[in-house]
Structure 1
Amino acid sequence: MEFDRIQFYVENAKISSDWFVSHLGFQSTAGYSNSQTRTEIVSSANVCFVLSSPLTVASPAASWLKFHPPGIADVGFRVKDIELAVARAAAAGATILEPIQEELTAAGCFKRAKIAGWGDLSHTLVERIGENSLLPTSSKLPLFATIDHVVLNVESGDLLSAVSWYQKILGFEPQQNFDIQTEKSALRSQVMVHADGGVQFPINEPASANSQVQEFLSAHRGPGIQHMALQTADIVSVVADLRSRGLPFLPVPPTYYSQLRQRQNYLPADWQAIAASEVLADWQEDSPAAMLLQIFTQPIFAEPTFFFEIIERRATFVNGKQVQAGGFGAGNFRALFEAIEREQMKRGSLSLDIKSG
C-alpha cells in the first residue's frame, strides 16, 4: 500500500493552487470544472493533491465545507489488488461510497473505489495498472519526493476504536504509541503502519480538555486530518527555500538545541545549519547518524487546523547494512507538542488547568 492522491476541499481551488505553487514549490498540472465543482491538481514528484471548491451548493465540496473549514476530505491509498481490498473492507463493515470503476488514461489503466473513513473522512482505493507515476514528471527537481505519513485526530475516548477500525477495514497494524503530558496539556497517539508498503498513519486523541488535539477538533468541528509529512532528502536547503517563499514555521527555542547537545554525543557536520534552520533532530541510540529531522509549518488555513510537516530520514551504514531513521522520535514528538502549546498560548486557547481524560 502507498499513499495516492489527497483530496482537499477549499474555498477557491485556483487561489489554493497558486498558494501551493508559490509557497511549497508544487507544480500546477491540471485544472477542470463540471457544473458543480472547480478542481485544480498540483504535484511534486509522487505527491499529488486534488484541490476542489464548490461552484454551486450541490457540490460535494459545498456539503463538506458547510460543516468543516478547508482541509483534507479524502486520503487515497494505492493498493495492489483493489477487488481484494474492497471485499475485505466490505466484509469488515465498511460503507462503500463508490463501487469499483475502471478508467483508461493516456498513462495507463486504473481502478478505483471509495469507502467511508473515520468521521467525515473518506478513502479512495486505487489500483494503477501500467502507470509509473501519478502525473507526468518535470525536468525541474522537486522539493518533495513522497508523503511520509498522514495524521488523524479523533475525539477523546475514540482512539482504541479508531485503531481497531483501521486494523479491520484496511489492514493497518499498531506500532509505536505515545502518551505526552506537560504541565499544560496532554495527548495520546498510536502510530499505525501497513505491512504491505509501510504506509504510516498515526492517530491522536486528546488526553486533556485543553489539548491541541481538542483545539483542532473544535476548530475542525469533528475528527479529521491534522497534518501531513512531506519527505525530502535535504531538509536544510528545502526549509531555506520554503522560508524564502514566505512559508511560516513553528519556532523552536534555542534551549532545545543546547539541551540536545548535552544529551547526544554525536553531532552531524551540518549541526549548526540544522539548529539555525530550527529543525528538530532525533537519533537512534545504536545508529546516531541515522537521524530523524523534522520541522512543522504554521496552520495553512485561517483556523488552527491543518499544517504540514517537512521530514528527512537520514541513513547510515551499521555493520555493512544501511540503516535509515524510522518511526517517530519521542524527543521530536514532545518538542512538536510543546511548540504547538506555545502557539496555543498566543491564540489564548490554552490554560494551565489540565484535566486528563
Structure 2
Amino acid sequence: MKKRNLLVCLSLSLVCLLCQGAESVLELGEGVPSTLPLPFGYAARERNIFRVELRNGSYEPKQEMKLKIVGMRGTVKAFDIYQNEIKLPKIDGEGDEAWWQIPDNFFAMEFSDIPASLAASYTPTASVPTVPLQQPDIAAPKGIRQLPRKLVFEDQKAIIDTGVLRCHFAWDGGRLQVKELYSYDLDKQVLLKPEELRLILLRVREKNYDIRDAQVQEVAPRDGGFRASLLFPEISVKAELAVWGDPDGELRMSLEVRNAGWETTGIITYFPVLEDLQLSDKPEDDFYLFPHMGGLISQLPCRRRGIYGHSYTLFQLLDLFSPQNGGGIYLRADDATGL
C-alpha cells in the first residue's frame, strides 16, 4: 500500500512539473529551423511578410504568456485567429530586452522583416494533441423534410420547393433577387442578407458587376423551375440563368454568359456566389468541410498557404453544416466540360 501511494504521489508531481512555466527560443538568424520548438507551430515568409503562429494545444491559454523579440527591424502586427489585428501590451524592458504580453486570443504575428530570434515564456500543457478532434456532436434535425411542392410562378415571383430546400425569387422592379433560401432540415432561412446576395458576379475591365446590376428582359417557367434572360447594360453582356429542383430534393442552377457588344471583352465569371450564410443560432457555431490533404472539419477560418485560382483550382464545392440544428447545405460544380 505504501508503494502504491508513493507511485501516485510521484505521478502527481510529474504532472505538476510538466505544467510549470517554461521558456523556449526560436532562433531565426540562420533561417527557419526544420523543427520548431514549442509553442511555435509555424514560421515562414509569405510574400512580403514573415509570419509566426503558435501551435494550439501546446500551451495553457489562460496562464500568463509573454514574448521577447530580439533583433526586430521594421514593423510587427499581431492577429487573432479571425485575422483581426490585436494589441500586444509591453510588460517591461526596452529594445531587445522588452517582453510583450500575449493575450488569450493571440494566434499569429507578422513581421515586415525577419527578427533574429523569438523567446516565449509560457505554461505548457501536460500533453500536446497530435491530431485535432474533428468529430463534432451532431444533433437530430431541428426540422422535418416535406414532399416536393408544385412550382409557384406568378406575380413576378417564383418559388421552387423541393421538400428539402425552398428558394424564393422575385423580379418586381426589373431586378432579379433571391428573397429566401430555406432549409427544411434546419427549419431556417439561411440567408442573413438576401437583399445583398450577388449570386452572379462578373468581372469586366477590372470592375465587378453582380445580379443587382442586371436588367430582367424575360422570365419564363420551365420544368420544375424558371429561366431568366438578363442584361448587364453597362458592359453589354447577356446572361441566361436557369434554376430548378430535381426529384432528389436538390436545387440546381445553370448560367450562360455571352458578350452582346461589338468589342472583344474578357469576362471572369463567379457563379453561384453564396455569401452571408448562417445555419446555427450563432455564426461561430457553423462548421464547414474542406477536403484538402485528408480533410478539415472546423468552425474556425482555414488559412490555406498556397495558390488558388490562376488556372489552378482544387475543389469547386462547399459543405456547411450546423451540429446544433442537425442539418446543412452543400454545393457542387456539375460541369462536365470544366468551363
TM over 0.5: no
TM bin, normalised by shorter chain, reads: under 0.3
The normalised TM-score by structure 1 is 0.22
Greater share of residues in helix = 1
